[in-house]
Structure 1
Amino acid sequence: MMLSSLLKKHAFSFGLFVVVGLAFAFPSLGSFGSGFPAKMLTQIGVGIIFFLLGISIPYQQLKNGYRPMRLHLYVLSWNYLGVPLLTGLLLLILGDVLPREIVMGFWLLAIMPTTIASAVTFTDLSGGSVSNAIFATLLSNVLAVLLVPVFAVLLFSLAEGLVVEFVPLLLKVGLLVLMPLLLGQFLRRIHFEWLSVVKRIRKPISSAIILFIVYAAFAQSVSNHALSDLSIVALLVMLGVAILLMVLVNLLVWWTSKYLALTSADRVAAFYCGSQKSLATGLPLAVMILAAVPDSQNAALMVIPMIVFHPLQLVLAGVLSSWLASKV
């Protein structure tokens, strides 16, 4: 009974490990060079994810959570400035023992938006302001459509010396991300009867698409023998960097949030929204960005930090939720 409950609660995290295992066992199906249209399905899947996100954005509910604005500016500053700066500091110290692709993966992780469902859920469990959490997470994820590609090009150019074709990347983001997002929001306003159905299917469909994207990325890298060069030492260092980054971000976000003069409930919302990184939005964006990076055949290596960070932050958030609830 306990095992069944655990599997149900963390089904997506377990699913990540399952699809990685399947990619090693059956790489040919997900390889872009096979007859199976994995690349096309990945791109279609990205569009579906952001279309469903557009439909699910509660425009009217956002009006209840846009104040105080300093909370949302604080969350954005951590999402797109604070975490990248901390990541750069850690990579400056430990980056030399990591493969170049893993380093690029940490840069990608650093510039991703906050989670939506997780941050809102843990804010609620901890007695925080749910309306503020909803506004902060959606604002971060919508802005990610424009900010993440720009930051990725700048970071890869400055930190890794890579030349990324920005205009084709921007066009692809517009086609696969921005247009589906706007279309979903438009349909939400004219077909309200869809909302209850979409609310039920959005999470399982998006989760299934993300699992397929992870499988395809790893299958491609296994087929190219790109993962054979990743040593146990590099994996352990990567895990250590991910844990250290997570702990530092959580400590600093909570510590600095006390200077915002927020209510206890708002501070909890600021903490969860400022400290987490989205896999649901981040991975689809990463797939498009990496497609524009020269010699990005090792895509699986570049998304490993994101995949590792995701379950770690959920475990920590679960541990902290009862402690934070006592503070509210």
Structure 2
Amino acid sequence: QGLTLRTKELGAALQAWPAGLFGLGSILLFTPFLAQFLVQIQFFPREFITGLAMFCCMPTTLSSGVTLTQLAGGNSALALAMTVISNLLGIMFVPLSLAKYIGTGAGVSLPTKELFRSLVNTLLVPLILGKVARETSKGAQDLISFLKLLSLGKFLIWTCIPYVGIAEFVDGNRQGFSVLSAVLLSLVPWIQVSRSRSLLLSVKPKAFAIIVTIGVLLHLALLAFNATTLQVLSCLKQKEESVLTRKEYARAVILVASQKTLPVLVAVVEQLGGALGESGLLVIPCVAAHINQIIIDSILVNWWRQRDQRSTSAK
């Protein structure tokens, strides 16, 4: 994420700060609040419903939200800003939400400090390293030009060459990096699920069907909440009406604020070390929920695009 992060894209989202602020509130405050109601559901295996409740406490997806926003004609700068900020703030919010809404209800004391350190290593450090590498490559090109201008030694110039072109290479191969990122991210939950293969085979198909249905209903509820609340806010706050009612901003918020990230959840489950149950059983309903949210949102994006085409044809 750090390698592909363009600072100017984040700056372009500042004009839509009311919509972005609502989106962050929905991601980090509202959906984690729903977790306490999910854990009240009596379900076997218990890990299924606990895993889905944990999924509610996660920040938004790392890439699919931005991609779908672009396809829907939404504001990708706003989508990217919400993605980056929610995942960074999630370093603090996720451990607190898990402890408050899930750990307390389960009677388990969660290692909040260890979770915080784990999320720093998983989210913050890679982002900073990638961003530093990207910005260093830009500075290296300018430094080489400056050294050549001063006719300084070739050794100094050669030391800068490895850093040159990283930003340009990444920007020119963004689609390839997206595919690589998706493949690597898919391996993370696969490893966790594979560890619990024997337990998964003992679970009845009916339990899978029910938990998948609950996950689908949860995502539909989030889409409905975000869309409805945006509409209500646009009516109540005339000052921000131009931002909240603009199609490109509304679509970005609805998509990004309704999705939850799977890799961060897997990192959290790994760090908990079985405190809330068997790791594979916690992850499997979230894998299904992650896949279903992308399918549902793809259908929504397709519907938006068809409606836009009909609107354009009518004009």
8 Å CA contact 1:98–1:238 kept in 2: the answer is: no
Corresponding residue for 2:154? none
Q: 2:115 aligns with which of 159, 169, 188?
A: 169
Inter-CA distance 202–151: structure 2 relative to 1 (3 Å threshold): farther
Q: 1:238 aligns with which of 180, 189, 211?
A: 211
Corresponding residue for 1:128? 74
Deviation at 1:190, TM superposition (A): 0.9
8 Å CA contact 2:54–2:102 kept in 1: the answer is: no
Q: Number of residues paired by the alignment?
A: 269
Deviation at 1:242, TM superposition (A): 0.7
Larger radius of gyration: 2
**Secondary structure, counterpart of 2:196 in structure 1:** helix
Corresponding residue for 2:195? 220
8 Å CA contact 1:169–1:289 kept in 2: the answer is: no
* 2:166 maps to 1:186: no
Which 10-residue stretch deviates more, 213-222 or 101-110? 213-222
Deviation at 1:217, TM superposition (A): 0.9
Separation (CA, whole Å) in 2 of partners of 1:311 and 1:171: 28
Inter-CA distance 120–204: structure 2 relative to 1 (3 Å threshold): closer
Deviation at 1:295, TM superposition (A): 4.5
Deviation at 1:294, TM superposition (A): 4.3
Write the mapping of 1:41-80 to structure 2, written as runs, cut at 5 A: 53-80=1-28
Separation (CA, whole Å) in 2 of partners of 1:122 and 1:310: 14
8 Å CA contact 2:36–2:101 kept in 1: the answer is: no
Deviation at 1:137, TM superposition (A): 1.9
8 Å CA contact 1:76–1:140 kept in 2: the answer is: yes
**Structure 2 stretches lacking a partner, 5+ long:** 139-164, 235-243
Letter of the aligned partner of 2:166 in structure 1?
W
For residues 277-309 of structure 1, give each alpha carbon's deviation from its aligned partner in whole angstroms, at most 9, with x where no partner exists: 223xxx245324442244566211111122111
What TM-score comes out, normalization by structure 2 length?
0.76
Deviation at 1:106, TM superposition (A): 0.8
For residues 139-161 of structure 1, give each alpha carbon's deviation from its aligned partner in whole angstroms, at most 9, with x where no partner exists: 22222233223322333321212
Deviation at 1:129, TM superposition (A): 2.0
* 2:37 maps to 1:89: yes
* 2:92 maps to 1:160: no
Identity %: 23
Deviation at 1:110, TM superposition (A): 0.3
Corresponding residue for 1:149? 95
Separation (CA, whole Å) in 1 of partners of 2:117 and 2:12: 34
8 Å CA contact 1:101–1:302 kept in 2: the answer is: yes
8 Å CA contact 1:114–1:140 kept in 2: the answer is: yes
Inter-CA distance 78–212: structure 2 relative to 1 (3 Å threshold): same
For residues 228-283 of structure 1, give each alpha carbon's deviation from its aligned partner in whole angstroms, at most 9, with x where no partner exists: 4422221121011011111111112111111232122211111111111223xxx2
* 2:238 maps to 1:258: no
Letter of the aligned partner of 1:254 in structure 2?
A
8 Å CA contact 2:36–2:102 kept in 1: the answer is: no
Corresponding residue for 1:195? 167
Q: 2:250 aligns with which of 267, 281, 294?
A: 267
**Structure 1 stretches lacking a partner, 5+ long:** 1-52
**Secondary structure, counterpart of 1:68 in structure 2:** helix
Write the mapping of 1:197-212 to structure 2, written as runs, cut at 5 A: 197-199=169-171, 200=173, 201-212=176-187
Which 10-residue stretch deviates more, 198-207 or 151-160? 198-207
For residues 165-185 of structure 1, give each alpha carbon's deviation from its aligned partner in whole angstroms, at most 9, with x where no partner exists: 222332333334322222222
Q: 2:289 aligns with which of 309, 312, 317?
A: 309
**Secondary structure, counterpart of 1:230 in structure 2:** coil
* 2:266 maps to 1:298: no
For residues 95-153 of structure 1, give each alpha carbon's deviation from its aligned partner in whole angstroms, at most 9, with x where no partner exists: 20232211221122101122243222222222222222222222222222332233223
Which 10-residue stretch deviates more, 249-258 or 175-184? 175-184
Letter of the aligned partner of 1:258 in structure 2?
Q
